[in-house]
Chains A and B, each alone.
Chain A
Amino acid sequence: MTALSISNLQKTYANGVVALKGIDLTVEQGDFFALLGPNGAGKSTAIGIICSLVNKSRGRIEVFGHDLDSDPAAVKQCIGLVPQEFNFNQFEPLEEIVANQAGYYGVERKEAFRRAEVCLRQLDLWDKRREMARELSGGMKRRLMIARALAHQPKLLILDEPTAGVDVEIRHAMWDLLREINRQGTTIILTTHYLEEAERLCRHIGIINHGEIIECTSLSGLLNRLSAENFELNLRERLVDFPDQSIDGFALHQLDDCTLEVEVAKGQSINSLFTTLSERGIEVMGMRSAQNRLEQLFMDIVSSSRRESAE
């Protein structure tokens, strides 16, 4: 079943800014979908329209078969939103914020508080349940927004940059939680500027730029398009005056005394390079990808889209 279907979605703001130029997008049930794009590309506008926070100019949106125009209540019942900005009442206790949200979706008060407990425990905020939201740290506030979005058990969870400003440990914990939520059957749409996050979590990716979807495919399909990948090799001993050169068909470039960068073409085996380097007395202690693969592709796709727009 299709979780989200968008066709010809357009948005022109009152000041004349065209945020969406007629996008089409489909997200299947159970998917973990990343909606990526540079700042101002139209991601938040699209999410705002799906969640009824922004009025659309034209187009059609269906969520689990319910049309947003003819049955907005059914659409809203399916969606849980974690917005980019903190949008809870800072002067309310956490427990009430989460329970009230469940109440807005028709969950009886007693059950709403029970769900609030489950969600707050899941997000490790139960101990803070009676504290006012303003007293939380930034990371806790982000987690509170996720707990609130989960209170009515949505079938589609939309997260707009949920890990912005969150420390590494919490970010990894949130990734685990999101994977688990997705594994339990909730469809997730994620926007993020951390492309590593999208690469680790998502199965499908849509890239939006200047109000248009310029790419929509599976993550694996996208990564397959990489013609080459750069790796950094950490060396045991210092290397002096190592000119850029090609060894066994690999282009090598010295980054510093103990690091070499190597470009590996798609389908090329790297084993022979290690053998040759070893023969030359260069011992490799470790290697890592020089750039996040998705980041590399994202930059290429967005740049190419910009060039096309300019032409």
Chain B
Amino acid sequence: MKQASLNRIAFQTIYIKEVLRFMRIWVQTVVPPGVTTALYFIIFGNLIGERIGEMEGYSYVEFIVPGLILMSVITSSYSNVVSSFYFSKFGHHIEELLVSPVPNWIILAGYICGGVTRGVVVGVVVTLVSLFFADVSIHSYLLTLLVFVLTSVLFALAGFINAVYANSFDDISIVPTFVLTPLTYLGGIFYSIQLLPEFWQNLSLANPVLYMVNAFRYGILGVSDINLGVAFAIILLFIVVLASFSLSLLQRGVGIKS
């Protein structure tokens, strides 16, 4: 059998398995982000937002729409891969792949695309929810989709690395709780960094999530605190670095081979 054909079928198999995995438990994986986002819109958008007024020419509820969608995408992509890959290590069924002739990059691609798909599904659900609260029109569909997918890939890769190093279920919740959530909340979802004092503005620039949220906001609303070129360069750089590192981990068998 030709390697290209094997790779295609193996990728398809891993991808379908990953999608079926989160769709089987859609009440746990797809519904909660929709509910949480609705609450954000009710509290921050309608109740508090009305007192805040406009931000960068948009009502507050419209301003937070891109950030809330992207936050759900980030969390879903990350948690899908981290939980799926860690669970496959924990239950030893990663061995099904390790004994097979599937190349490491296909294994990685299968898991990442599974995570991205969950991100997309959740993103669509959250977008639909947001339509109940805000009148959203897309400034650039291409840009929006590009940032949406690239961000999802980036955080799926981060989830993969977390899963490789995780030795317990605690380890797969520490990074999301103490790193991912603070970075996301401080990444300009709820505010423009122009509102911050200079020191905090400069510090915010060290947060990679800020670039994604702003690039995504530009795609939807056409406004951004960050230069788009810089945002894309940072996102792509992170993807390249994380993908290379993930592949080297798989190649060396870190966390999965003795």
User: Which residue numbers of A lie inside 8 Å of B, CB to CB?
Assistant: 13-14, 48, 51-55, 72-74, 76-77, 79, 81, 83, 85-92, 96, 100-101, 103-109, 112, 148, 152
Contact = CB atoms under 8 A, between A and B. Distances in A.
B51 interface: no
A104 B97 contact: yes
A52 B98 contact: yes
A72 to B, nearest CB: 7
6 contacts: A73-B6, A85-B92, A90-B91, A103-B12, A103-B13, A109-B13
Identify whether the interface residues of B are mostly helix, strand, loop, or mixed.
helix
Contacts of B87: 89
B100 A104 contact: yes
A83 B9 CA distance: 24
Contact of B95 (A53, A74, A112): A53
A53 B96 contact: no
Contacts of A72: 101
Contacts of A55: 253, 257-258
A87 B101 contact: no
A109 B12 contact: yes
B103 interface: yes
Contact of A96 (B12, B17, B99, B101): B17
A107 B9 contact: yes
B101 A77 contact: yes
Contact of A105 (B3, B101, B257): B101
B88 A52 contact: no
Contact of B1 (A53, A83, A88, A106): A106
Given A87-B95, A103-B13, A73 B257 contact: no
B91 A104 contact: no
Contact of B10 (A54, A96, A104, A148): A104
A119 to B, nearest CB: 14
A53 B91 CA distance: 14
Contacts, number: 87
Given A83-B95, A106-B10, A76 B258 contact: no
Nearest to B93: A89
Given A13-B258, A96-B17, A109-B9, A104 B253 contact: no
A100 B95 contact: no
Nearest to A90: B91
A107 B8 CA distance: 10
Interface string B4-36: 011001101110110010001000000000000
Contact of A89 (B91, B98, B103): B91
Contacts of A87: 91-93, 95-96
Contacts of B6: 73, 105-106
Interface string B85-126: 001100111011111111100000000000000000000000
A77 B253 CA distance: 19
B203 to A, nearest CB: 40
Given A76-B99, A81-B99, A89-B93, 5 more contacts: A87-B92, A87-B95, A87-B96, A106-B10, A109-B12
A261 B157 CA distance: 68
Given A53-B257, A90-B91, A73 B101 contact: yes
A76 B100 contact: yes
A101 B100 contact: yes
A271 B54 CA distance: 108
Contacts of B97: 104
Contacts of B12: 103, 109
Given A72-B101, A96-B17, A104 B258 contact: no
A73 B1 CA distance: 11
Nearest to A89: B93
B86 to A, nearest CB: 13
Q: Which of B12, B95, B102 has the most CB of A within 10 A?
A: B95
